Structures are given as structure tokens and as C-alpha cells.
């Protein structure tokens, strides 16, 4: 009897976990990871490209991609600032090494309705010579 109860509880918990993972996948953005030369080509060919630098203002003192806007990932109003952007424009996102930009592309941009998203592989560290 106790074994049967445990099996039922386990099955219920497992089902919830699987459904939760499915919902997370639906929220993820579809994006393309590009290396530096591919990003340069994208920038040259697409004048409407929205470029978002999600590093801190301190990090951007070392430089920023041409035409990029800085929206600090750690700022309390980061998500509200993302909401103000044109979601129909092709969007390139980057950070210092790729961690924060991946979080943004995976979890936020898809939920916000961005249609065409690119991420700079390795972040700004790969951009600088």
C-alpha cells in the first residue's frame, strides 16, 4: 500500500516537472550564434540591425560595437528598457564573454516577442583584437 502511494506521488511530481520544462522551451527565443566575422557581415548588410550591449557602464568604457545601445543587464529597469525596443527589428545582443547575453536570448527575448535575434559568440572579448 505504501509503495503504491509513493509510486503515485512520484508519477505526479515527474509529470509536473516535464510540463514545466516544456513551458520553458516555449518561452526560449530562437536565435543564431555568430562569430565576429559573421557579425561584421551582418552589420554591413543590415542597416536596420538593433545592437544591444548588456554589459555594465563600467565595462563599456573599454569600447562598444558601432551603433550599439547599452542596456545594463544588472540594472533594476533592464526588463522595462527591453520592452521599449522595436521587436520587429533584427537584433544582435552581446555582453563581455557570452554569459549574460545567452541568458537574455534564452529567457527574455522570446517571451518579449523579438522575431530575429543574433548573439555574438564569446561577447566583446572576441570582438576586440
Residue 90 within a domain: yes
Q: Which of the four pLDDT bands, split at 50, 70 and 90, describes residue 108? A: confident
Identify the burial level of 117 via C-beta atoms within 10 angstroms of its C-beta, where 0-12 means exposed, 13-18 middle and 19 or more buried: buried
For residue 14, being part of any structural domain is answered with: no
Q: Indicate which CATH number applies to the domain containing 75.
A: 3.40.250.10
Number of domains in the chain: 1
Buried b (16+ CB within 10 A) or exposed e, 85-94: beeeebbbbb
Q: How many Å apart are CA 60 and CA 9, to the nearest integer?
A: 51
Q: Write down the pLDDT at residue 107.
A: 77
Q: Which secondary structure element, helix H or strand E, spans residue 120, and what is its range? A: strand 117-120
- Domain encompassing residue 75: 30-127
Task: Read off the pLDDT band of 119 (50, 70, 90).
Answer: very high
Based on the residue annotation, tell me whether 95 is a catalytic residue of this protein.
Answer: yes
Cα 55 to Cα 97: distance, rounded to the nearest angstrom: 10
Answer yes or no: is 21 within a domain.
no
Which one from 68, 93, 95, 104 is the annotated catalytic residue? 95
Closest by CA to 124, choosing from 79, 77, 66, is: 66
**What is the pLDDT of the chain when averaged over all its residues?**
81
- Report phi then psi at 79, rounded to 5: -65, -35
Amino acid at each position: 500500500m505504501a509503495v503504491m502511494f509513493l509510486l503515485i506521488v512520484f508519477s505526479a511530481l515527474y509529470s509536473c516537472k516535464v510540463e514545466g520544462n516544456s513551458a520553458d522551451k516555449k518561452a526560449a527565443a530562437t536565435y543564431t550564434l555568430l562569430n565576429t566575422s559573421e557579425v561584421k557581415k551582418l552589420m554591413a548588410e543590415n542597416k536596420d540591425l538593433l545592437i544591444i550591449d548588456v554589459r555594465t557602464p563600467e565595462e563599456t568604457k573599454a569600447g562598444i560595437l558601432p551603433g550599439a545601445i547599452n542596456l545594463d543587464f544588472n540594472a533594476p529597469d533592464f526588463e522595462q528598457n527591453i520592452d521599449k525596443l522595436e521587436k520587429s527589428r533584427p537584433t544582435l545582443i552581446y555582453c563581455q564573454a557570452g554569459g549574460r547575453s545567452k541568458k537574455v536570448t534564452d529567457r527574455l527575448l522570446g517571451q518579449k516577442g523579438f522575431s530575429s535575434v543574433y548573439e555574438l559568440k564569446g561577447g566583446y572579448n572576441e570582438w576586440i583584437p
